[in-house]
Amino acid sequence: MKKSIIKSLSLLIIVLFTVSIFAGCGSKTSQQQSQTSNQQQTQNIKIAVIVKALNSDYWKIVEAGAKAAGKDLGVDVVVLGPSAETAVSEQVAMIEDQITKKVSALAVAPSQPPSAIPFFDKAKQAGIPVVLIDTDANWEDKVSFVGTGNYNGGKLAGEFLAQKLGKGGKVAIIRGAMGDPTHDERANGAIEVLKAQGLEIVDIQPANSERGLGMTVMENILQAHPDVQGVFATNDEMALGAVRAIKAANKNIIVVGFDGSPDALKSIAAGELTASVAQSPYNIGYKGVEAAVKAVKKEPVEKRIDTGTYIISKENVEQEQKKLNEILGK
């Protein structure tokens, strides 16, 4: 009897052991198949990132972030941009071309959102999800907006100038292209704080986000308002142009830019540009691609992803330069 029980138990153990081996193999095979399927799904994803231009450090850092996300996520990423931020028709043609090429998703920084919206509608009709980066648009069907709180960033610039100049200080604003909501928000944020703090805004002029034009506009402002004490430029390129004009005029004027670009940091370190409102263009590119990939995979995406702003001045510029050098591989 005992021998029979022992024999039965031995057989049961062997059967259970054999089943567990096959179950384990089956589980591993299933897991491997799932991983392979997921990799194949990811490898077939192509994200087109279309920025406002590729002629400045800011957009180059956005590009670096987007490409890094593509590498990390195992997807194909192409980054495109027109010849200048004012080349709106060139940008919308790029959007339309990528729709025709049937990319998996678009991540777009629209130069003029009203002009881009009809093409976003085309993307939707083609089943292509659209993530807006850097600049938001009043378009209900966007997957998400990934970018800076530009109004709050403008307020930071206004607060910095108010602290340095005090009540009655005279400030000029040099802004990006008229109608660009990013620059509208930055300028309006600064205007709110400057007026509340009792500073005088002597002039507001567009310089289309270009360094050369920023210099020309600053020269004109100096002629019209030789007593100007501070300048807020709604991007670093225009701020650096303004600095050139101020140096040529041999004047001492506080200049605050916006972006925290490598050239701006060099200028701050050299004691020329006073400060820059830093955002994270790298994160805008990276998180924009990340959100687009999630949309393609039908995963949930937050409707608004804010990458934050802060002031860079002579106190923290060295630390920020180290960060940027790491991002750009210098």
Name the one residue in this structure whose structure tokens are 């990528």.
98
| Secondary structure (3-state) at 220 | helix
Q: Model confidence over 312-325: pLDDT tens digits?
A: 999 999 999 998 87
- As its CATH architecture, domain 150-278 has 3-Layer(aba) Sandwich (3.40)
The pLDDT of residue 57: 79
Q: Looking at 179-313, which runs of residues are DSSP E strands?
A: 200-206, 230-233, 254-259, 275-278, 304-306, 310-312
Name the one residue in this structure whose structure tokens are 């007593």.
227
| Secondary structure (3-state) at 65 | helix
C-alpha separations of 152 from 56, 163, 274 in Å: 23, 16, 19
Q: Do domains 44-147+281-299 and 150-278 have the same CATH topology?
A: yes
The pLDDT of residue 262: 87
151 contacts: CB under 8 Å, gap ≥ 6? 185, 186, 188, 189
Q: How many CA atoms lie within 13 A of 161 on its CB side?
A: 39
- Cα–Cα distance measured from residue 130 to residue 296, given in angstroms and rounded to the nearest whole number: 10
- Cα–Cα distance measured from residue 290 to residue 155, given in angstroms and rounded to the nearest whole number: 29
Average pLDDT, integer, range 213-221: 98
SS percent in the chain: helix, strand, coil, step 5: 55, 15, 30
Range from 26-35, 100-109, 136-145 carrying the lowest mean pLDDT: 26-35
Q: Model confidence over 224-274: pLDDT tens digits?
A: 999 999 999 999 999 999 999 999 999 999 999 999 988 999 999 999 999
The third-level CATH classification (topology) of the domain covering 44-147+281-299 is Rossmann fold (3.40.50)
The pLDDT of residue 19: 45
- Cα–Cα distance measured from residue 186 to residue 204, given in angstroms and rounded to the nearest whole number: 12
The pLDDT of residue 2: 46
In the chain the first and final C-alpha atoms are separated, in Å, by 80
Domains of the chain by residue range: 44-147+281-299, 150-278
* Residue 179 pLDDT level (bands cut at 50, 70, 90): confident
Q: Could you give the dihedral angle defined by the CA atoms of residues 60, 66, 69 and 71, in that order, rounded to the nearest 10 degrees?
A: -70
Average pLDDT, integer, range 120-147: 96
pTM recorded for the entire structure: 0.69
